């Protein structure tokens, strides 16, 4: 039984997520309209530009419907800009910054620096036996996480990491997951598998039909 998982497709690295979700057995589809969102058991909000994302979501009348689905418990996985979109609070956001909310976290936009400061490295990730090779591109990090938030990964707490040392870069709260980095690139599909399992479990709990 394959859950239907949408990828917010108005902006960001959509194709990569669709490819990985298909590869791990989900029925993946791009979401640009309300009718497509209504078919989804779960949703991925990809990396991209968070301010552009919320404006396009408003323009295409998807912002409030997605926010409502989040409140109703639909599983959502945000990566990079998607983490910002799911955060309740944003540091260094634009004056008109809006988020969908749902994750009791404070994120800092572009915390790791601009595009030229992009980097990659191995991270221990809760629930996975081997480290994840994480790719950070203009990434946020989590400044604060509420008591109900499970921390899934941090930057190594050593001097070589500088200001990033020990920073939270992956979280889960209930049916919401988010990473600062881009698990859809690099060939490691384990985090997507975790999300697909989360969606499938939610479908079983709620009695939602899957294909």
Band (116; pLDDT cuts 50, 70, 90): very low
In a domain, residue 202? The reply is: yes
In a domain, residue 36? The reply is: yes
Q: In this structure, what CATH number is given to the domain that contains residue 59?
A: 3.40.50.880
| Total of domains in the chain | 1
Band (210; pLDDT cuts 50, 70, 90): low
In a domain, residue 193? The reply is: yes
Give me the domain span that covers residue 59: 4-206
22-47 mean pLDDT: 97
Residues belonging to the active site: 80, 182, 184
Alpha carbons 175 and 76: distance in angstroms, whole number: 7
For the chain, the average pLDDT equals: 91
In a domain, residue 211? The reply is: no
Alpha carbons 209 and 211: distance in angstroms, whole number: 7
In a domain, residue 165? The reply is: yes
Alpha carbons 195 and 191: distance in angstroms, whole number: 6
**What pLDDT does 110 receive?**
82
In a domain, residue 40? The reply is: yes
Asked if pLDDT for residue 185 goes beyond 60, the answer is: yes
In a domain, residue 160? The reply is: yes
Asked if pLDDT for residue 166 goes beyond 60, the answer is: yes
In a domain, residue 128? The reply is: yes
Cα torsion 79, 85, 86, 91: sign: positive
**What pLDDT does 28 receive?**
97
3-state DSSP assignment of residue 129: coil
DSSP-assigned letter for residue 35:
H
């Amino acid at each position: 039984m394959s859950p239907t998982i949408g990828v917010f497709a108005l902006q960001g690295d959509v194709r990569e997520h669709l490819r990985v979700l298909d590869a791990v057995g989900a029925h993946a589809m791009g979401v640009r309209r309300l009718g497509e969102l209504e078919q989804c058991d779960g949703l991925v909000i990809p990396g991209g530009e968070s301010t552009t994302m919320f404006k396009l979501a408003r323009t295409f009348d998807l912002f409030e419907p997605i926010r409502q689905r989040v409140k109703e418990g639909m599983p959502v996985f945000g990566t990079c800009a998607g983490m910002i979109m799911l955060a309740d609070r944003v540091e260094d956001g634009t004056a008109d910054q809006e988020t969908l909310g749902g994750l009791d976290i404070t994120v800092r936009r572009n915390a790791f620096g601009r595009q030229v400061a992009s980097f990659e490295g191995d991270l221990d990730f809760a629930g996975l036996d081997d480290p994840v090779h994480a790719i950070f591109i203009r990434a946020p990090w989590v400044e604060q996480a509420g008591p109900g938030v499970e921390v899934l990964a941090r930057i190594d707490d050593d001097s070589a990491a500088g200001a990033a040392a020990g920073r939270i870069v992956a979280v889960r709260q209930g049916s919401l997951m988010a990473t600062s980095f881009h698990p859809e690139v690099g060939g490691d599909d384990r985090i997507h598998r975790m999300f697909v399992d989360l969606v499938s479990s939610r479908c079983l709990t709620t009695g939602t039909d899957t294909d």
